[in-house]
Amino acid sequence: MQQTILSYKQRGKWGKASYRGNCSGHIIKDLLELFQPRKFVEVFSGSGTGRDVAKDLGYKNSVHLDLNEGWNALVDEIPTGSDFVFSHPPYWDIIQYSKVNNRIHKDDLSNPISYEEFIKKLDQVNSKIYQSLVNGGRHAFLVGDLRKKGKYYSIIKDMAWIGDLEVHMLKEQHNTISGRKNYGGTFVPINHEHLLIFRKNHIWNVPVKLTHTKEFNLKNFDNMTWRDLIQGALEHLGGHAQLKDIYSIVQDSKKAKKNQHWKEKVRQTLQIHDNFQSSSRGNWELAIA
């Protein structure tokens, strides 16, 4: 594990190969051999892959926690302060483990909850993991991206980053369902996962990075050009419109508010850019490339 691109074509002998969503034991083995922790804790241990790896490597003080074993990541305490935690959470509800294990639990992170609630609960678990580490300890976090109903979700970009990021690795996925299909058009299957390693470098001060998604009207951007502004207006109006309708869209933009001669600027922009063409007097449309 001396590079940031990881690839394991075989998952190895550890754990249950039939257990959906479990990771290759090779990645846990390589992490343990790289960092050589004194105490190893695994969160979301699933089918027991990490337990088998730890046994092979001679760990006598490793701890493996999972809802299947009666340990609730949202409520229960991580029972030991360790210098290394490996976690491989559900990828939202892509695999609903209540169905796989025939056991429904309200705190199962793979339940069909909203994405926002999933991220909130994942942040709660990750904060508990960070708190449980001894100073200088590491949290190795493995998770993938997903696509649902045509929308792409990147869990690592939406969750809180707790601790100092030491390294970001990409792991190639093998034998995925999407990888066995042929897709047409512009669809690109997801064949990678992210391995983030966070280090606890301070006892009390915790560096936390948060991502907030906000909607912002492009008309209020300081660097919006007149050309882009008018193109947006025409697209909003269906690709063709009367000049007065373009005015009605542009008039509340930041550029128009800062220029008292904004109507003249709109007309000038329509005339000098080949993005626009006049279909008749006072009527404009987007030019076809």
Residue 200 sits in the same domain as residue 254? no
Residue 48 sits in the same domain as residue 109? yes
Residue 99 sits in the same domain as residue 141? yes
3-state secondary structure 172-208: ECCCCCHHHCCCCCCCCCCCEEEEEEEECCCCCCCCE
pLDDT digits (tens, 9 = 90+) for 63-82: 999 998 899 999 999 988 89
Beta-carbon contacts of residue 66 (< 8 Å; ≥ 6 apart): 43, 44, 45, 46
- Tally Cβ neighbours within 10 Å of residue 124: 14
Q: How far apart are CA 82 and CA 40, in angstroms?
A: 6
Residue 120 sits in the same domain as residue 229? no
Residue 204 sits in the same domain as residue 222? no
Residue 264 sits in the same domain as residue 236? yes
Does an H or E element contain 267, and which? helix 262-272
Residue 27 sits in the same domain as residue 138? yes
Residue 82 sits in the same domain as residue 200? yes
Contact 217, 226 (CB under 8 A): no
pLDDT of residue 200: 97
pLDDT digits (tens, 9 = 90+) for 14-54: 988 777 878 899 999 999 999 999 999 999 998 899 999 99
Residue 244 sits in the same domain as residue 136? no
Percent share of the chain, pLDDT over 70: 96
| pTM listed for this prediction | 0.84
Residues of the domain holding 264: 218-286
**209, 229, 255 - which closes a domain:** 209
Average pLDDT value over all residues in the chain: 91
CATH number of the domain where residue 272 is located? 1.10.10.10
**163, 186, 209 - which closes a domain:** 209
Residue 184 banded pLDDT, cuts 50, 70, 90: low
Residue 39 sits in the same domain as residue 151? yes
Contact 21, 11 (CB under 8 A): no
Work out how many domains the chain is built from and give that number: 2
Q: How far apart are CA 17 and CA 6, in angstroms?
A: 19
